[in-house]
Amino acid sequence: MIWAFFAVSVLASIWIWTMVWEYFVKRKITIEVDVVRSTVDLGDHVVIQCRIINRSWFPCPNIRCTIQLPDQIDSGNTEHPNFSLFQTYLMPRQQTTVTLHVLGKKRGHGHLGKANFTLHDGLGLRRVFHSTPIQAEVIVRPKRMQSIPVPLRMLDLMGEVRILRFFNEDPSLLQGIRPYQDGDPLRYVSWYATARTQQLMVKEFGHTTTSRCLLVLSGDIQGDVQNRILDILCERTIQLSEYLLGVGFSVGLYTNMFDSILRDFYQRPSSAPEQLEKIRNRLGSLGEIPFVNLQNLLNVLPKLVSHGDMIIVLTGRLDNAVQVALSHLQRFRGNLFVYAVLKPGEQINSRMNVQTFVEEAPIIESTSKIGS
């Protein structure tokens, strides 16, 4: 009889303990997730820190956590590549930090989804489920590849720029009047033209040689290889930016894909040391769906460039409509180059009056390899 009473007492105590444990622990354990370095290159490790805090006076012998990852990140687990898992425990009034290393597998801007964690009482009698939204994001930038051959004509032009480039416009080379743009010096404002047109106008001066280049990146690509070609174009944009900035150009970027961080399409030309990093970060946060097609993008370009500026169009599409728009832009704006990454076997019209350099996109049999 005593043993039966003792056994019932023990079972009742365990049951009461688990009930009390669940009541006090249920909302006293929280998790905070943060990305240590939110901007990484393709193929680099993304470090995620998870801080678990136990604010109760009861221990938690077993904590299992699952973090949902965006498409841009790979957990390294072949069975669950989009989830990162870990397991730990906490004593009363204790906190711990768990560091996870995952891999950037796809260019883009990704938001971490949510963290699901399960609390166990250690006896297997009680489990508590929680789901916490995560306010963390990561930008995976295109990786730097080996340098591509730079066209000979562009090399000749860059050689002249290195020798003859003016850092300021030459006031003796007045070329005309144009509408004011953000960043123009106020000393170049033409007050007579402003009073006549009722619009702020500035004087436009020439250079001995061009010193500005606008890279025009188009994501208007058709077919099932769209993402692969877009990644190659982003890599080529980085390489060209690095080379042009290295020889003294002011480099800018204009694209028809929306930047989810800066909320615009245009990176103003600059030769500042941080310009390359700005362009690389922007390429990482670009979406994959273009807002306008390449023809409309080319129609806007005359408003963004000055006479003598170099324009390099990077695209994966060169159909008849695009070629007509490029030829029209070439007639009114010189120094136009086209760098096209086309599908294998795709041909272009050789009569197009624009200097074009074509790269054939490689055939990828499997897209599961990281950074392939």
Structural domain harbouring 272: 152-166+211-360
Note the pLDDT tens digit of each residue in 105-125.
Answer: 888 888 888 888 888 876 667
Q: Is residue 15 part of a domain?
A: no
pLDDT in tens, the chain (372 residues): 677 767 767 777 777 767 776 777 777 888 888 888 788 888 888 888 889 888 888 888 888 888 888 888 888 888 888 888 888 888 888 888 988 888 888 888 888 888 888 888 766 677 788 888 888 888 888 876 655 666 555 555 455 445 444 445 566 667 678 888 766 778 888 898 899 888 898 887 755 455 788 999 988 776 666 778 888 888 888 888 888 888 778 899 999 888 877 778 888 888 888 888 889 888 888 877 788 888 888 888 888 887 778 888 988 888 888 888 888 888 776 678 888 888 777 777 666 677 788 888 776 544 434 343
Report the alpha-carbon distance of residue 281 to residue 40 in Å, rounded: 9
283 and 158 in one domain? Answer: yes
267 and 352 in one domain? Answer: yes
179 and 98 in one domain? Answer: no
Q: Is residue 315 part of a domain?
A: yes
326 and 223 in one domain? Answer: yes
174 and 87 in one domain? Answer: no
Report the alpha-carbon distance of residue 38 to residue 102 in Å, rounded: 12
For 264, the token pair is: 């615009």
Report the alpha-carbon distance of residue 67 to residue 74 in Å, rounded: 12
Q: Is residue 354 part of a domain?
A: yes
pLDDT at position 215 is 92
135 and 108 in one domain? Answer: yes
355 and 332 in one domain? Answer: yes
Cα distances from 271 to residues 211, 243, 244, 247, 252, in angstroms, run: 10, 12, 9, 10, 9
193 and 67 in one domain? Answer: no
353 and 258 in one domain? Answer: yes
263 and 136 in one domain? Answer: no
Cα distances from 332 to residues 13, 201, 207, in angstroms, run: 88, 21, 18
Q: Is residue 131 part of a domain?
A: yes
Q: Which residues are CB-contacts of 231 (< 8 A; sequence separation ≥ 6)? A: 42, 107, 142
